[in-house]
Amino acid sequence: MNSQDHNAPASPRIHEGSEARPDLSSLHVREDIAITGLCGNVHLPTGRTCDMPERHDGSCRFVGPEDAENLAAR
């Protein structure tokens, strides 16, 4: 956070709560995939699952449900 506060008077800073990252707002993590060391994010609108490594760079690469099943821990 490097943005300078622009002369805002001491406004009471309301804690916005620890909302999940906005970029993940439409995502859900499949734990059975996440525990295998993969990202496991599910794009809820499409039901597709990310098969990239955990904390990968860039955006998720979603694969279809069948591929995702192969990624899941048994």
- What are the residues binding Zn ion (CB under 5 A)? 39, 41, 50, 52, 60
Q: Least distance (Å) from Zn ion to the CB of residue 22? A: 15
Which residues lie below 8 Å from residue 56, measured CB to CB, with a gap of 6+?
A: 39, 50
Select 52 or 63, whichever has its Cβ closest to Zn ion.
Answer: 52
Q: Which residues pair with 43 in a beta bridge?
A: 27, 48
Q: Least distance (Å) from Zn ion to the CB of residue 43? A: 9
Q: What angle do CA 30, 33, 37 make, to 5 degrees?
A: 125
Select 41 or 48, whichever has its Cβ closest to Zn ion.
Answer: 41
Q: By three-state DSSP, how is residue 62 classified?
A: strand
Q: Least distance (Å) from Zn ion to the CB of residue 20? A: 14
